[in-house]
Amino acid sequence: MAGVSYYAAAAAGTGRPSVVQFGAAPNRSRWVSRTRLRRRNAGGRFGLDSNSELQVEEVDVKPSSGSMVEIELVATNTGSNLALHWGALQPGRSEWVVPPAGIRLPEGTIRTPDDAALRTPFKNSGSNSTLKIEIDNQGLESIEFVIVDEAQNKWFKNNGQNFQVHMRPPAGHHHQGQQHSATAGSIGRKNRDVMQLLSKNASTNDQVNKAAEATPSKCTVLDLFIKSLQEKHGSQVLCKKVFKLGEKEILALMSQVQGSTKVHLATDHVEPLILHWALAQKPGEWKAPPPGIVPAGSTLLEIACESPFSDAELNGLHYQVLEIELDDDSYKGMPFVLRSNQTWIKNSTSDFYLDFSRRTAKSSEVTLPFSFSPILAKNLLQKSSQNPMLIFFPCIKGTSDDSKGTAKALLERIADLEEDAQRSLMHRFNIAADLVDQAKDAGQLGLAGLLVWMKFMATRQLIWNKNYNVKPREISQAQDRFTDNLQSLYKMYPQHREMLRMIMYTVGRGGQGDVGQRIRDEILVIQRNNNCMGGMMEEWHQKLHNNTSPDDVVICQALMDYMNSDLDIKVYWDTLNKNGITKERLLSYDHPIHSEPNLKSEQKEGLLHDLTNYMRSLKAVHSGADLESAIGTCTGYTSESQGFMVGVEVNPVKGLPSGFPELLKFVLDHIEDKSVESLVEGLLEARAALRPLLLSSTERLKDLIFLDIALDSTVRTAIERSFENLNNASSEKIMYFISLVVENLALSTDDNENLLCCLKGWNHALEMSKHSDDQWALYAKAFLDRTRLALATKGEEYHDILQPSAEYLGSLLGIEQWTVNIFTEEIIRSGSAASLSLLLNRLDPVLRNVANLGSWQIISPVDVAGYVVVVDQLLTVQHKSYDKPTILVVEGVKGEEEIPDGVVAVLTPDMPDVLSHVSVRARNSKVLFATCFDPKILSELEQNEGKVLSLKPASVDISYREIPESELLVSSSIDTVDGQKAPSLSLAKKQFLGKYAISAEEFSDEMVGAKSRNIAYLNGKVPSWVSVPTSVALPFGTFETVLSDKINKEVSQKVKILTEKLDQGELGALSEIRNVLLNLTAPTYLVSELKEKMQSSGMPWPGDEGEQRWEQAWTAIKKVLASKWNERAYLSTRKVKLDHSNLSMAVLVQQIVSADYAFVIHTTNPSSGERSEIYAEVVKGLGETLVGAYPGRAMSFVCSKNNLESPKVLGYPSKPIGLFIQKSIIFRSDSNGEDLEGYAGAGLYDSVPMDKEEQVVLDYTTDPLVTDCSFRTSTLSSIARAGYDIEQLYGGSPQDIEGVVKDGKIYIVQTRPQM
């Protein structure tokens, strides 16, 4: 028992010399060897001695109870007599306590004589020793222990202190302390408002595109020179090259005009220049040109010629120029250098060289367009020799039309410089650094161009090195220069930070001085220390000395995997191949790697140790997302390992948050945990703590950006690693993981308000689920839909910004088309969005099942049969006419489309509102319209394309079967009723009755449409708690009279000409008519009459606020009148054979109610046809988001007419945007076709507010309609009751009603018969 007594003294803090401390090995505490632990699912990891480690992992045993945990200890490479000497700590106490009697303890556990501690033996497993402790953590803060080797009486502690494992808090709870609490088992997250992570810097795509159009790229004098050659002389440019001369440039190009071949050189260099040049018939040759072709003033030398440049000017810009006419087509190129006074100017350390072989070969008789780069020209000519048709029908894009939506000038500049960039990564990064300013000037599209170029490089689509010897430090310095420039943009342009992060991710950190040089020097130390001077190691050494690249990270990892697998050569090749490195690629290096590693087992330990350290050097230069090197760069480290760059030092970044280094250590300790929840929490806490520094002009900002990128990337890989463990996870667990990934995505996104609102929604859904709220699944489904919508919107944004640049630059550089096609998809896959999408897909069927939603939402229930046709967007086929009954399976439906002729069903995964325009159209046309929530069912339907199916909808399902065509012919008929053609509809043209404006008392059939008349009818009849806005109108005929007024003679003539074009089938005339009508001038009598009617009705007159306000109102009126000629409305009249000229437009004028909520009521449930049930949809803000094509779903509910106090919510809202407006006027379209039976023109024409609505990102977690059950029931009940009362006013006829809620009061803005 002497050992026990002695240990008690050590545990109390006396210490002893024989204790081996964690971190005793140099650099061990900072850098954890992933390779040695990579096959272990370790939590906290601690060094015991030079060969042994202790791994600690804490896992929940009974998550439901939240109190029982299991602690697993594994000691590696140890003796067989290890024991754990341990006890527990209670909160606020420092002395150990022993678990009470009756608690199950591990087998073999004994109590010390003083009952102050427990001693538990480890179990032996090969060279390892293992131990599991299961304990109830209620009332306990941590487990504390030391380890003893009883055979050797050797004690192991943690840096002189006891080891400690903090207990994980009960399930679902997170520490809310003010300090980061990093322990061996969990991380305490700060209690911060989610909206503190808000970033609203992004520009919309429209703004980006407008900015690019409004600010064309500034032409340089060299651009103007090329243009003048082509325009004035008709020159065909055969090849060209631009070289850097410090801050200036020199252009060298070969042209051909009228059979004459010339070389032109032009430069914006200021000092006078002499061209020292020659011609070459083979690479490397300098041969003096024939005397007959040298320019005037030249001096012929033995193997060269010297010719002076001449001064010239274009558009006031000075430049120097020289022209040489060639006499022979046998030359392969022109080498040259420049002389300014006595200073020689070269291309870096090489001669300049214009490669004539890049031009079009005469024998091929092929002319390549000027916009093709020399690289693409060569590719096309090579391919055309195998397939001559390629030149005449190239699949590769490269014309000016293909540059739309790109920073064209920048991309063409990149293409011009690509040949230079291929010399080495140093050249590429230096060129990229030079192009940063041009990219900045082009805005987001310019940065998109840089990203595309760097991504092509990173994915090995471009050559990294072409026989050019460059030192690693020169590469890292070039990277450093490029990323420094990106860092400057990051500081100055917050709206571009997301794009800049993506560029930096592809490039790697780089670094000045020793960071790159270590790659070159350390490999020699590795070879010397481990006696591996020949074979593969020497070939790799030669490659590293010549030109290091990101491939070296993979080669190093492959070597370590090879050694960890007991020298299994298959493992070496597996690692290489999985990362895109083949035997052919190894042989393609300037210093090829021919050999396989052939190492010995006695070299294993030393090599693993040294290569682990070496990997840090490689990743520090080449990796933008390596966590360990990023942490080391920010928190600082000193390399003290014997034989390795002794004294290399990186200082910590100043001003890191309190506790931040400990937080990062926690992350590294848990990097390979089998259960990733604590790891991801730690990563996100680190990102959130880092965020304030990233938003300021912090010293060494670049290092912090790379750390944030690495933390982001580690979240993604950790989440992906957890998928298998989530297979049988509870819905709460999946929702929690979704919330973590949404937070991570928000931290990487410039404009993240919508994502943060989604995050708040998921957190609220979790709380509802924990409290067994019976609405939790329905609520969570709304946020699942909203999150999916956010991902889709982000994907579209990336596609719009990046894909055009990928396609255009890809065409210029000859990138393989399959790579270009999936460019944006691969960008999205590399981030958290892909992981989030998978989690949402996993949760969706669970929520639908709990909420009893089924696989379908039936919007328009009709039994149909037809041929299956699959299309991408309904918008693209809305005006198509199908000649046989057609079932459309459609990927995207916005809500405002028309149903094409011949279509009997529209099935879509999209979720338009039940009361959207397209939904109403479907019901009016007796078309089956339904949303499918199950991707498997939708995929099965798509696989039936071309077949004839019979569809039968039920309440939440659709059954279908294949039928023979003969059965379809019997059961179906297009556009017929009882075998008769549907009759054409007619409209009586309305006449102007002498008044330009009328009050509601004057509304009649001859003056206004049904919209205005119904509002006048309701006024004074609705209950006192329902209000109807005051209204006036511009009656029928007003528009035609204004157009015929002499002050609008020119507009009238233009409209007449365009109408004739329209009658001849030129649909492009529609938009022209609308634009022309915006030039209408309001006659003075219209202005005076409208003013008098509005003021006498108690409405404000816009002109009282100034002439500009009246002009705003008049513009809105003109837009309403012009909407008669919108495409959808015009084609709808043609579809039912209405005479478009007979369609008359009145304008209903109402004061806008600044709504809290807007709603649409159908007093008969449109989905089921149930007359006793009211159906309604509600949105926050104005109703345009409900009736217009705004994405997401409204809140929907039904209410029995027999029990108006008990509305039932069918779905919570998922619309991300609400529209709000202060005091204003709205001008509503009111045509004589609005409610024409068989036409249903409602919603076809525009209603326009005088002022622009404000778009607000909606936070439903603070909306009482969503979160307050009592408020929700009261509000929805009032809406239902208003609908019921209005239906009664119309004798029980079903009504389609629009209204708003303001401060609890109901306002009805229109009603019409429900179609």
Helix-helix angle 472-492:425-441, to 10 degrees: 10
Look at the alpha carbons of 1090, 1091, 1095, 1098 in this order and tell me if their dihedral is positive or negative: positive
Cβ-based neighbours of 337, under 8 Å, separated by 6 or more: 276, 277, 344, 345, 346, 351, 352
Q: How far, in Å, CA of 719 to CA of 833, rounded?
A: 11
Q: How would you classify residue 567: left for phi > 0, otherwise alpha for psi between -120 and 50, otherwise beta?
A: left
Q: How far, in Å, CA of 342 to CA of 273, rounded?
A: 10
DSSP string, 418-482: HHHHTT-HHHHHHHHHHHHHHHHHTTHHHHHHHHHHHHHHHTTSS-S-SS----HHHHHHHHHHH
Which stretches of 776-916 are DSSP H helices?
Answer: 776-813, 817-821, 823-829, 832-850
Taking CB atoms within 8 Å and a gap of at least 24, the contacts of 45-49 are 45/669, 46/22, 46/158, 46/163, 47/20, 47/22, 47/23, 48/20, 48/75, 48/78, 48/147, 48/156, 49/20, 49/24, 49/156
Give the tokens for residue 817.
């088309």
DSSP string, 275-323: EEE-BBSSTT--BPPPGGGSPTT-EE-SS-EEEE-EEEEETTEEEEEEE
Q: How far, in Å, CA of 1079 to CA of 1060, rounded?
A: 19
Cβ-based neighbours of 1201, under 8 Å, separated by 6 or more: 1172, 1173, 1174, 1284
Q: Which residue has the tokens 């490689």?
A: 618
Give the DSSP letter of residue 1243: T
Residue 872: count of CB within 10 angstroms of its CB: 10
CA-atom Rg of the chain in angstroms: 38
Residue 220: count of CB within 10 angstroms of its CB: 18
Judge whether 1149 and 1225 are in contact, CB under 8 Å.
yes
Cα maximum dimension of the chain:
117
Q: Count CA atoms within 13 Å of residue 45 on its CB side.
A: 25
- Helix (H/G/I), strand (E/B), else coil: 273: coil
Catalytic residue among 541, 545, 764, 917: 917
Judge whether 142 and 167 are in contact, CB under 8 Å.
yes
Q: How far, in Å, CA of 292 to CA of 326, rounded?
A: 9
Backbone angles phi, psi at 120, to 5 degrees: -125, 125
Q: Name the helix (H) or strand (E) containing 553.
A: helix 551-564
**Cα–Cα distances in angstroms (integers) from residue 494 to residues 420, 451, 499, in the given order:** 32, 17, 10
Q: What angle do CA 781, 786, 792 make, to 5 degrees?
A: 125
- Helix (H/G/I), strand (E/B), else coil: 415: helix
> How many Å separate Cα 1231 from the centre of its chain?
43
Q: Which residue has the tokens 């009332």?
A: 139
> 147 - beta bridge partners?
84, 156
Backbone angles phi, psi at 58, to 5 degrees: -110, 130
Q: How far, in Å, CA of 261 to CA of 264, rounded?
A: 10
Cβ-based neighbours of 989, under 8 Å, separated by 6 or more: 1141, 1142, 1144
Look up 670 and say whether it is catalytic: no
Catalytic residue positions? 917
